[in-house]
Structure 1
Amino acid sequence: MENSGFEPRSNGLEKLSMVDNSREEEGRAQGAAAESNGNGIGLGLSLRLVQELEGHLDRVWSVAWSPSGHTLASCSGDKSCRLWENSSASASSTTWRCQAVVEGGHTRTIRACDWSPDGKLLATASFDATTALWEKVGGEIENVSTLEGHDNEVKSVSWNSSGSLLATCSRDKHVWIWDVQPGNEFECMSVLAGHTQDVKFVTWHPTKDILVSASYDNAIKVWTEDGDGDDWRCVQTLAEPGPGHTSTVWALSFNKDGNRLVSCSDDLTLMVWDTSADLYDSSPDHALWKHVSTISGYHDRTIFSVHWSRANGLIASGAADDSIRIFAEDREQSSTEPGGSTFSMVGKEVKAHSTDVNCVQWHPTNPRILASAGDDGVVKIWEVIGNLSLLG
């Protein structure tokens, strides 16, 4: 469906398709109840639009903050990546401007982007089956390497915490792990074959060399290095018949400490996973990650993006219903539920974009700043209004 500009976004459905009416109505009813019944910590935050960043000529698929938070990268169906910077010391000022347009490295849609931990390299993943690496050299952005090998569209790219490894995933059902070598050289050290369908998303644990992937096959897979060699293996699959999503898993995000993971899906739910185990222990019957909460009833279209803030502990989600929702754990109620957790919606923006919200990303250091990207071709900067100290 590439010629039409639409990517398949859910099992058996195209991007503009509607979900089943009964599920839609059920979702609306549950969401209304959750917002009005007064349970949990309730609504207490709002989102103020700081600035709309315009310039892309097609839908914006993804945004990524540099580690310092001084630069925001956005990538689009227009085959470019834009770098936005703020001339003010305050991220909530309206002085965000496009400082550079990264283009010419890809021949098709740029689906995802991610900064290296030192902020020196930007990786971009494209439907042209390549991943490009960019570096600022003498005030110019240069393409310093192009990674080839996937047989089809590359959907996601992620650096590990040390910047020594890069992961990519593709519609070809594979995850590749690249070894970062001196001189901007990259060598594929492992090809991970475990998913049975298009792999939508990869992300690394915040401190350990543990990789998680999400797929059109409804599954989340956890990967670790196998011994001292270059081989990697899947140590756990989070999917049915155990707890798991019932449709495409679109995105994943770790919390600050890496002991929790949140996932979002075409099944209209967010799921929270927890571990108190040794994440490298792959002995038989050893469950590394356990399901502790399902957040449902808030979005009535596919949830495309989820991000767990490392600055404020809040979870943000963006969906095809054009909205952004913000969730916080109700710690008092969670403490009374052994093995479980309760999350409440604490903020929302019903019409965040004029059409699908493809990505939400919290600022890495400022607990009040959130960026979003949509099918309307716009990047938006939001400020959270309200008392964040009440959520700790």
Structure 2
Amino acid sequence: TLLATCSRDKSVWVWEVDEEEEYECVSVLNSHTQDVKHVVWHPDQELLASASYDDTVKLYHEEEDDWVCCATLEGHESTVWSVAFDRSGERLASCSDDKTVRIWRQYKPGNEEGVACSGTDPTWKCVCNLSGYHTRTIYDVAWCHLTGALATACGDDAIRVFEESASSDPQQPTFSLAAHVPRAHSQDVNCVAWNPKEPGLLASCSDDGEIAFWKYQRPE
């Protein structure tokens, strides 16, 4: 079992956890140049993503018994606070202090779309930029693996849920705002999390010291 941690010391650590719950650090990754705010594992591969104060997202995988950075996603104009994979792991959402959410798509070597890859590593390309919806820093993004809905936690005290349009082009997906709770909390919303078993059940937490539960129903 693998565990990943990140820190203000700019590093990402990968740990191996054995059956006795002994923790052994197997790799220290120093690819970021500023605080690392968030790490998340791919849903079914040994692929790790991190978000940082240096405005980038980085991806890591294991290569010859060591962990290495295999991609850097650049495009945000300020701190990247959080990242989330979709159910397939083919796409990644990132949210930032620049008030945008970016959707990145993985293109494997030899892809039909003709996106260039270096060697055997996939290329990640930004295919959608959700801007104009948030008025302050977006601290968290959560991608529901049951419904595909995308939720955000924002410094404007609000929660928003986005849905991908059914006729969306995979190369240029379109998402629309499906729900907006303007005063979800009385202070900054720090984190949102979808329940992995019950569709539409969302939890949020805030600087106001409260955890709230929401039932999201998709618009008819």
- 1:253 matched to 2:84? The reply is yes
Aligned to 1:170: 7
Q: Structure 1 CA distance, aligned partners of 2:21 and 2:120?
A: 40
1:285–1:385: structure 2 CA closer, same or farther, 3 Å change rule?
A: closer
Aligned to 1:373: 205
Note the C-alpha offset of 1:214: 0.5
Number of matched pairs: 213
Aligned to 1:272: 103
Amino acid at match of 2:67: W
Q: Structure 1 CA distance, aligned partners of 2:118 and 2:19?
A: 35
Note the C-alpha offset of 1:380: 0.3
Q: Structure 2 CA distance, aligned partners of 1:176 and 1:226?
A: 15
- Deviation string for 1:38-71 (max 9, x for gaps)? xxxxxxxxxxxxxxxxxxxxxxxxxxxxxxxxxx
Aligned to 1:195: 32
Note the C-alpha offset of 1:285: 9.0
Amino acid at match of 1:360: V
Q: Is the 8 A contact 2:189 2:205 kept in 1?
A: yes
Aligned to 2:137: 302
SS in structure 1 at match of 2:216:
strand
Aligned to 2:186: 354
How high is the TM-score relative to the length of structure 2?
A: 0.93
- Deviation string for 1:21-44 (max 9, x for gaps)? xxxxxxxxxxxxxxxxxxxxxxxx
Aligned to 1:364: 196
- 1:339 matched to 2:176? The reply is no
- Deviation string for 1:123-169 (max 9, x for gaps)? xxxxxxxxxxxxxxxxxxxxxxxxxxxxxxxxxxxxxxxxx100000
Task: Choose which of 56, 61, 67 in structure 2 pairs with 1:224.
Answer: 61
Task: Choose which of 320, 324, 335 in structure 1 pairs with 2:155.
Answer: 320
Q: List alignment gaps of at least 5 residues for structure 2.
A: 110-116
Aligned to 1:263: 94
Q: Structure 2 CA distance, aligned partners of 1:211 and 1:386?
A: 30
Q: Is the 8 A contact 2:107 2:125 kept in 1?
A: no
1:285–1:340: structure 2 CA closer, same or farther, 3 Å change rule?
A: farther
**Comparing both structures, which one devotes a greater share of its residues to strand?**
2
Amino acid at match of 2:101: L
Q: Structure 2 CA distance, aligned partners of 1:384 and 1:331?
A: 18
Amino acid at match of 2:3: L
Task: Choose which of 374, 382, 391 in structure 1 pairs with 2:214.
Answer: 382
**Comparing both structures, which one devotes a greater share of its residues to helix?**
1
Amino acid at match of 1:193: N
- 1:205 matched to 2:60? The reply is no
Task: Choose which of 167, 186, 203 in structure 1 pairs with 2:23.
Answer: 186
Q: Which has the larger radius of gyration?
A: 1
1:220–1:196: structure 2 CA closer, same or farther, 3 Å change rule?
A: same
1:211–1:386: structure 2 CA closer, same or farther, 3 Å change rule?
A: closer
Percent same amino acid at aligned positions?
48
Q: Structure 1 CA distance, aligned partners of 2:131 and 2:214?
A: 24
Aligned to 2:112: none
Amino acid at match of 1:264: C
Aligned to 2:164: 329
How high is the TM-score relative to the length of structure 1?
A: 0.53
SS in structure 2 at match of 1:331:
coil
Amino acid at match of 1:247: S
Q: Structure 1 CA distance, aligned partners of 2:200 and 2:62?
A: 36
Aligned to 1:151: none
Aligned to 1:84: none
Question: After TM superposition, where is structure 1 displaced by more than 2 Å over at least 4 residues in a row?
Answer: 282-288
Q: Is the 8 A contact 2:70 2:121 kept in 1?
A: no
Which residues of 2 match residues 91-170 of structure 1 at below 5 A?
Answer: 164-170=1-7
Note the C-alpha offset of 1:288: 2.3
Amino acid at match of 1:250: W
Q: List alignment gaps of at least 5 residues for structure 1.
A: 1-163
Q: Is the 8 A contact 2:178 2:218 kept in 1?
A: no
